[in-house]
């Protein structure tokens, strides 16, 4: 007899995480947040640095209800993230929406914005879990095939954990939304799907001997070749 699944917590509808424009595009299901984070490769972190806002791109990893970030212990932006609230955004573009009127051009997208106060991860086991998650997020299967971080590298690395409870998810799908008066226009309208694909692996020039492309890289190529996504072609909401 299988165990009863543990319910996932819903996204916290706080003032800053509540979608106010196009509310019908918002999702409160926690699985929707997981889907966006798991599909993205890069996040953008918004922090206050020397009294001014700074937005920085970085890689990330997710373990259950926690987002992990890492950087150099000497990086001012990472230290600044520990002094207050931050925002983290992940966006995926599924299609460019061509309309009959300039102001109705749009994009089909999936986006997530997370708010919160990150904490420094100091437990050695959790630090390794976090770093593994970050590597495995972009390169699944790679962690177990390469050298693990040594003491010097770990000492120079700051690992942050951000709870995923306070977040918003917003998506747009489907066709152009033109005004009825523009429907007789001769302008072309429709969707230009956006595809993400991995290319042919390029070996490092300083490999000491010929090494076959690992199975996990081959698998990444196959699973990473996204066809026209459902979000790009499903009926507009």
**Can you give the pTM of this predicted structure?**
0.85
Residue 54: pLDDT over 90: yes
Query: How many CB atoms sit inside 10 A of residue 184's CB?
Result: 7
Number of structural domains in the chain: 1
pLDDT digits (tens, 9 = 90+) for 170-206: 889 999 989 899 999 999 999 999 988 899 999 999 9
In a domain, 30, yes or no: yes
In a domain, 49, yes or no: yes
CATH of residue 113:
2.30.110.10
In a domain, 52, yes or no: yes
In a domain, 18, yes or no: no
Query: How many CB atoms sit inside 10 A of residue 131's CB?
Result: 21
In a domain, 9, yes or no: no
pLDDT digits (tens, 9 = 90+) for 89-99: 999 999 999 99
Full residue range of the structural domain in which residue 83 is found: 23-233
Tokens of 25: 């595009």
Q: How many angstroms separate the CA atoms of 138 and 136, rounded?
A: 5
Q: What sign results for the dihedral spanned by CA atoms 177, 182, 183, 185?
A: negative
In a domain, 132, yes or no: yes
In a domain, 110, yes or no: yes
**Per-residue confidence band for 230, with pLDDT thresholds at 50, 70 and 90:** very low
pLDDT digits (tens, 9 = 90+) for 111-163: 999 999 999 999 999 999 999 999 999 999 999 999 999 999 999 999 999 99
Q: How many angstroms separate the CA atoms of 154 and 124, rounded?
A: 9
Q: How many angstroms separate the CA atoms of 98 and 108, rounded?
A: 11
């Amino acid at each position: 007899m299988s165990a009863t699944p543990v319910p996932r917590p819903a996204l916290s509808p706080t003032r800053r995480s509540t979608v106010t424009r196009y509310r019908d595009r918002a999702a409160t299901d926690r699985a929707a947040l997981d889907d966006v984070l798991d599909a993205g490769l890069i996040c953008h972190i918004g922090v206050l640095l020397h009294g001014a806002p700074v937005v920085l791109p970085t890689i990330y990893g997710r373990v259950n209800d926690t987002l992990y970030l890492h950087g150099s212990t000497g990086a001012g932006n990472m230290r600044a993230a520990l002094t207050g609230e931050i925002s983290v955004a992940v966006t995926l573009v599924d299609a460019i929406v061509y309309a009959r009127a300039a102001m109705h051009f749009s994009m089909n997208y999936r986006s997530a914005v997370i708010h919160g106060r990150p904490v420094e991860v100091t437990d050695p086991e959790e630090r390794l879990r976090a770093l593994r998650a970050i590597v495995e997020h972009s390169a699944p299967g790679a962690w177990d095939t390469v050298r693990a971080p040594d003491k010097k590298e770990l000492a120079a690395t700051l690992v942050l954990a951000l709870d995923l409870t306070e977040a918003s998810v917003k998506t747009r799908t489907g066709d152009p939304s033109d005004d009825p008066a523009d429907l007789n226009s001769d302008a072309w309208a429709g969707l230009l799907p956006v595809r993400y694909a991995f290319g042919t692996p390029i070996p490092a020039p300083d490999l000491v001997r010929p090494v076959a492309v690992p199975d996990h890289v081959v698998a990444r190529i196959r699973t990473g070749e996204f066809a026209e996504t459902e979000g790009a072609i499903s009926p507009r909401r």
